[in-house]
Amino acid sequence: MLNFLTRTMSDCERQSRRSFLQVGSLAGLGLSLPSWMAARAMASESTKPTTNCILVWTRGGTSHHDTFDPKPEAPVSVKGEFSAISTAVPGVQFTEIVPNMAKELHRFALLRSWNPQNGSHGMADQFVMSGRKFNAAVAYPTYGSVVSHQHGFQSALPPFVQLGEQVDNRFGGGTPGILGLEHSPFTMNADPNAKAFTVRDITPPNGMSMDRVERRKRMLAQVDDLQRQTDVQPSAFAALDEHYKAALNMITAPETKRAFDIQSETDSLRDAYGRHRFGQSCLLARRLIESGVRFVTVTDGGWDTHQNNFKSLKTNRIPPVDQALPQLLADLEERGLLDTTLVLWLTDFGRTPKINSASGRDHWASSGFAIMAGAGIPGGSVLGATDDEGGRPIRNEYTTADIAATIYHKLGIPTDLIVQSPDGRPVRLIEGEPIREWT
C-alpha cells in the first residue's frame, strides 16, 4: 500500500496538523517522503547518462568448487560429487550442475582468483557490496546508494531498487551508510512469480482506484489553500508540496505501472526465465532498468551449505540461477541493453576445499568466484586460477576492493571518490584498483 503520512508540523507559536493523502506508506524507502524527494530534487540537477547495473546477490557463500572452479583431479574429499563438463571456451570446465552457464560462457567473464579476505556472514554483505571492510566508525555505502547519490533519477522511479530481502543488514550491508537514508534502496519483497503479484507502496490498496487518489489530491489542495491563508511559513509548505507532488508523480506515472506489469510479458519469455521467484525477479530487474532504474539488486538466500551441500546446490539453489541468469544476459543483448548494463553475480565468500562430516562445505576466506557481464566486460574471459585444492589464488589475484573499483569504473563513478560523512569528515569510498584485464 501507499501511505502519504499524517504529519504534525509546528512553529514557536502554535501547531498545525495537515492530513496528507492516506494512500499508504512508502515504507520501502526507509524514510519520510519529503526528505527522499528533496534529495531527488537535488540529485536530478546533476543527472547524466550512465551505465546501469543489475547485481545478483546469493546470500550465504556460493561454493566455487561445485560450480565454476572444479578440481576433477583432486581427491573425492575435495572435488566432491559433481563431474566436470566442457564450456563454450575450449579448455575451461565447470561442474555438471551449471550446464546453461557453461554453454553461455561467451556472454560473461569469470574471476576464479577472488580473495574475499573475510569469512563472516553479515560483514560479507557489508564488505562485498561496498568494497570497504566493516568499520564501526564509518558506515560505508552499498554500490546502489553511491549510484543514487552520484547520478540521481532517470525517471519517476527510484534510482536504486532491491528485489527480495536476502541481505544481512547487521553491519550495514546493502544500506546507504554515511550518504543518508534518502539513498536507501526501494525494497520490494513481493514474489513476482505469484499470480496476484502486486507491489506494496506502489499499488493502491484493494478497492482504491487511481481516480480516488486524484480526488484525495484535489481535496488536499483545497485544505492547503485554506491553511496557507493563516500559515506563518508559506514558503516552507510550498517546498514540501513540491516534494509530495514528486512522490505522487512516482505513484501515478505511467512508467511506474508499466515497469511492474510483469504479466504483460509473453508466456514464452517468462518460461525462458523460469517460473520461479528468482527467474521472474531477473525478468523484473530487466524491466526496471528499461524504465529508468539505475541499479537493481536481485537477492537470493539459502547458500550457506554447511550441510547437504551437494543435494542443496543440485536440486534447489543452482537450477533457477543457471536458467535465469544466462537468459537475462541474452535478453539484454537482444534488446540492445547489455552494452549499457553491467551484470554482476557476487556472494559472501568461497567454501572450504575439504568436505565436512555433514556432506557440506564451511566458510572460506581465501578464495571464491565473481562473475561480470555487459558494459564492455569481455565475454568468455576466465581470469585467474586457484591451487590444486581451490584453496588460494595462484595467478591474477584480485580482492573485493578491486572488484568494487571495477564496478565504479564501469558505472562512471570516480574510483578516488571522496564524500562527506554527516559530521563533515571526508571519506574515500574505494581503495582498490580496477581489474586490468576487464577495463
Average pLDDT over residues 237-261: 69
Look at residue 259 and tell me if it is in a domain.
no
Q: Considering only CA atoms, which of 424, 422, 407 is closest in space to residue 146?
A: 407
Confidence of residue 17 (pLDDT cuts 50, 70, 90): very low
Average pLDDT over residues 16-31: 40
pTM value > 0.75: yes
CB 383 within 8 A of CB 438: yes
Look at residue 224 and tell me if it is in a domain.
no
Confidence of residue 199 (pLDDT cuts 50, 70, 90): confident
Report the amino acid identity of residue 421: S
- pLDDT for 228 beyond 60: no
- pLDDT for 10 beyond 50: no
User: Domain range for residue 308?
Assistant: 31-207+264-438
Instruction: Check residues 430 and 33 and name the one with the higher pLDDT.
Output: 430
Q: Lowest mean pLDDT: which of 22-31, 115-124, 186-195, 231-240?
A: 22-31
Look at residue 12 and tell me if it is in a domain.
no
pLDDT of residue 255: 82
Look at residue 222 and tell me if it is in a domain.
no
Grid cell 525478468 — which residue?
283
Q: Considering only CA atoms, which of 48, 7, 40 is closest in space to residue 249?
A: 40
pLDDT tens digits, one per residue of 35-82? 555 555 555 554 455 899 999 999 999 999 999 999 999 999 999 999
- pLDDT for 86 beyond 50: yes
DSSP state, residue 135: B
Number of separate domains in the chain: 1
CATH number (domain holding residue 201):
3.40.720
Confidence of residue 128 (pLDDT cuts 50, 70, 90): very high
pLDDT of residue 47: 47
pLDDT of residue 37: 57
pLDDT tens digits, one per residue of 265-303? 999 999 999 999 999 999 999 999 999 999 999 999 999
pLDDT of residue 369: 98
The share of the chain scoring above pLDDT 70, in percent, equals: 77
**Distance (Å, whole) CA 21 – CA 178:** 31
CB 78 within 8 A of CB 309: no
**Distance (Å, whole) CA 182 – CA 196:** 30
DSSP for 22-58?
A: -S-B-GGGSS-HHHHHHHHHHHHTT-----EEEEEEE
Look at residue 102 and tell me if it is in a domain.
yes
Look at residue 227 and tell me if it is in a domain.
no
**Distance (Å, whole) CA 238 – CA 59:** 44
Average pLDDT over residues 349-376: 98
Look at residue 180 and tell me if it is in a domain.
yes
Confidence of residue 232 (pLDDT cuts 50, 70, 90): low
**Distance (Å, whole) CA 13 – CA 34:** 23
**Distance (Å, whole) CA 71 – CA 387:** 9
Calculate the average pLDDT of the chain: 86
Which cell goes with 340? 549499457
Look at residue 252 and tell me if it is in a domain.
no
